[in-house]
């Protein structure tokens, strides 16, 4: 049993970001991942019928995701992220499409000026509230309640009509938080509004990968980490983490090996971390209590291949038909032609979808597509895949406020990362990168003392 400087548990985006951060500062970590590949919840696989590399679910970023973009820069795949210059999304309802289009000169609020799905009075009331948030004109009393109330509730209390909430605010909150607006904590909803919607026009712009997620993240990360001296142990589960009398940690692996280090970064999801921490050591009780208190929210991705093109734009949002966000993978990945078109319908906060059989999901979504796109009826569906991820992200709801753990959990040498930790961000790839870096900084600090 030899000592390692830092052991990282889990090779998702948080674990990768922690490892990259350490390597760039001269520390060669050991990273353990249970699967044969890195990337965690952001991965792709080859679809048997089309032969295409498809994602477990469409992953989108906003321009404000600077730390994730930095990570791609390190991995050499930044140019494979298509980040639009400004927010510009066609939104459809009742067969009418209206774009939410920011102005380079007048900013993101200008997107509302021509947004036809809302009456002028609603648009003005949203713009007024955006300015109130921007100027931080939120009273002390209100501020106190932001941790305990939902964003939807808070918006109503600020005079936002249910139509404005449904047709503007939810459009962003549901996919970003993977959770209904009536569940998301007001504090987090406001934080997101400030950083993305009230940031620069580039901050609110949408970006999507032009290649499969594994090609974007997992594969180049394996290459980056491996070639710079990270000890990469894949296909191996962490089965236990225990503290020994020396204050070091012993990490037990599924191949019966035990590794030892004074610095362990957990980049595992809450359930996975809970299952490897000992129940017999009271030091971990508070951490374990938080890990079991968080709630999860599913995402359902529906992949559809039409014989001929159905849509021309890369992305479209829907306020009706249950479609939420529809991505044109063929256009996004520059495979546009008259031939088959690959569409991905992404359903967030998908509790009701996740409980349906896959055939039922497919049937409902393809019939909604027929009503949504003129070119869909009569256009043969030649292939499909439904991917359900039940624990896609945690719910950033009021009860998560006290249970999203800090990187520093007051257990010397144990540092916690993962999109679900207390980053101040939604549970996203950006949050995962931020958390990995924060945990790595704590390990570096400890190594230097």
**Binding residues for ligand FAD (CB under 6 A):** 9-15, 32-35, 40-42, 56-57, 59-61, 237-238, 267-269, 272, 276, 299, 301, 389, 392-393, 418-419, 427-430, 432
Q: In sequence order, which residues have a C-beta less than 8 Å from that of residue 387 and are 6 or more positions away?
A: 56, 57, 300, 301, 303
If the CB atoms of residues 107 and 209 are measured against ligand FAD, the closer one turns out to be 209
Comparison of 112 and 407: residue with beta carbon closer to ligand FAD: 407
Query: Rounded to the nearest whole angstrom, what is the least distance from the CB of residue 276 to ligand FAD in the complex?
Result: 6
Q: Which residues does 285 contact at the CB level (< 8 Å), separation at least 6?
A: none
Provide the minimum distance between the beta carbon of 307 and ligand FAD in the complex, in angstroms, as a whole number.
26
CA 112 to chain centre: 26
The answer to whether the beta carbons of residues 417 and 15 sit under 8 Å apart is yes
Q: How, if at all, do strands 325-328 and 341-347 pair?
A: antiparallel
Nearer to ligand FAD, 40 or 398 (CB): 40
Q: How near is the Cβ of 301 to ligand FAD at its closest, in Å?
A: 6
| Closer of 122 and 435 to ligand FAD (Cβ) | 435
The count of C-alpha atoms lying within 13 angstroms of the C-alpha of 109, restricted to the half-sphere facing its C-beta, is: 18
Nearer to ligand FAD, 81 or 110 (CB): 81
Least Cα distance to 38 among 300, 215, 284, 180 occurs for 215
Using a 10 angstrom Cβ sphere, with 0-12 exposed, 13-18 middle and 19 or more buried, the burial of residue 352 is exposed
C-alpha span between 164 and 25 (Å, rounded): 48
Nearer to ligand FAD, 57 or 189 (CB): 57
d(CA 395, CA 287): 18
Phi then psi for residue 392, to 5 deg, are -65, -45
Least distance (Å) between residue 375 CB and ligand FAD: 26
| Alpha helices for 146-269 (secondary structure H) | 151-157, 162-164, 170-177, 186-192, 213, 219-227
Q: Least Å distance between CB 139 and ligand FAD?
A: 32
Q: Which helix (H) or strand (E) holds 392?
A: strand 381-394
Smallest distance from the beta carbon of 140 to ligand FAD, in angstroms? 33
Would you state the structure tokens that stand for residue 327, as one six-digit string?
Answer: 């991505």
Structure tokens, 448: 């230097």
Q: Shortest distance, CB of residue 353 to ligand FAD, whole angstroms?
A: 12
Instruction: Output the six-digit token pair for 312.
Output: 């021309």
Angle at the Cα of 179 from the Cα atoms of 355 and 420, rounded to 5 degrees:
105
Least Å distance, CB 327 to ligand FAD, is 10
In the bound state with ligand FAD, the residue whose beta carbon lies nearer, of 30 and 428, is 428
Q: Measured from the CB of residue 118, what is the shortest distance to ligand FAD in angstroms?
A: 25
Least distance from ligand FAD to the Cβ atom of residue 122, Å = 27
Other residues' Cβ atoms within 10 Å of the Cβ of residue 207 = 18
Nearer to ligand FAD, 81 or 432 (CB): 432
Question: C-beta of 264: minimal distance to ligand FAD in Å?
Answer: 12
Q: Which is nearer to ligand FAD, 43 or 306 (CB)?
A: 43
Which residue number, 11 or 107, has a Cβ lying nearer to ligand FAD?
11
Residue 83 neighbours by CB distance under 10 Å: 15
Nearer to ligand FAD, 10 or 398 (CB): 10
* Residues in contact with 386: Cβ distance below 8 Å, sequence separation at least 6, in sequence order: 300, 301, 302, 303, 358, 361, 362
Contact 12, 432 (CB under 8 A): yes
Beta strands in 29-134 (DSSP E): 30-32, 44-46, 53-55, 61-62, 81-83, 88-93, 96-101
Half-sphere exposure for 436 (CA within 13 Å, toward CB): 34
What does R_g of the chain's alpha carbons equal in angstroms?
22
Q: How far is the CB of 67 from ligand FAD (least distance, A)?
A: 11
Instruction: Specify the residue, 38 or 186, whose C-beta has the smaller distance to ligand FAD.
Output: 38
């Amino acid at each position: 049993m030899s000592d390692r400087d830092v052991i990282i548990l889990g090779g998702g985006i948080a674990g990768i970001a922690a490892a990259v951060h350490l390597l760039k500062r001269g520390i060669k970590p050991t990273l353990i991942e249970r699967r044969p590949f890195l990337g965690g919840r952001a991965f792709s696989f080859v679809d048997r019928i089309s032969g295409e590399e498809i994602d477990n679910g469409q992953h989108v970023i906003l321009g404000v995701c600077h730390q994730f973009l930095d990570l791609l820069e390190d991995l050499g795949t930044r140019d494979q992220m298509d980040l639009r210059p400004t927010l510009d999304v066609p939104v459809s309802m009742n067969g009418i499409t209206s774009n939410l289009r920011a102005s380079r000169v007048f900013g993101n609020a200008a997107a509302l000026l021509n947004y036809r799905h809302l009456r002028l009075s609603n648009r003005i009331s949203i713009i007024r509230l955006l300015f109130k948030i921007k100027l931080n004109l939120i009273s002390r009393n209100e501020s106190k309640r932001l941790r305990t109330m939902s964003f939807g509730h808070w918006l109503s209390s600020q005079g936002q009509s249910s139509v404005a909430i449904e047709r503007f605010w939810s459009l962003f909150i549901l996919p970003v938080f993977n959770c209904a607006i009536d569940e998301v904590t007001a504090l987090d909803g406001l934080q997101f509004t400030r950083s993305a919607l009230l940031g620069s026009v580039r901050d609110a712009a949408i970006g999507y990968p032009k290649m499969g997620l594994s090609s974007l993240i997992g594969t180049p990360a394996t290459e980056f980490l491996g070639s710079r001296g990270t000890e990469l142990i894949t296909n191996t589960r962490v089965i236990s983490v225990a503290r020994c009398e020396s204050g070091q940690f012993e990490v037990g692996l599924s191949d019966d090996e035990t590794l030892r280090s004074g610095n362990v970064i957990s980049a595992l999801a809450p359930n996975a971390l809970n299952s490897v921490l000992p129940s017999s050591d009271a030091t971990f009780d508070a951490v374990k209590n938080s890990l079991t208190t968080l709630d999860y929210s599913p995402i359902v991705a529906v992949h559809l291949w039409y014989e001929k093109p159905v849509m021309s734009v890369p992305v479209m949002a829907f306020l009706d038909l249950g479609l939420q966000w529809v991505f044109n993978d063929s256009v996004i990945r520059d495979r546009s032609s008259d031939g088959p078109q690959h569409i991905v319908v992404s359903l967030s906060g998908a509790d009701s979808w996740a409980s349906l059989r896959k055939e039922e999901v497919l049937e409902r979504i393809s019939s909604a597509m027929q009503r949504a796109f003129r070119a869909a009826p009569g256009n043969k569906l030649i292939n499909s895949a439904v991917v359900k991820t039940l624990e896609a992200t945690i719910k950033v709801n009021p009860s998560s406020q006290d249970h999203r753990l800090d990187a520093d959990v007051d257990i010397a040498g144990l540092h916690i990362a993962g999109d679900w930790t207390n980053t101040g961000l939604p549970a996203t790839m950006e949050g995962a990168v931020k958390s990995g870096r924060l945990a790595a900084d704590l390990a570096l600090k400890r190594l230097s003392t």
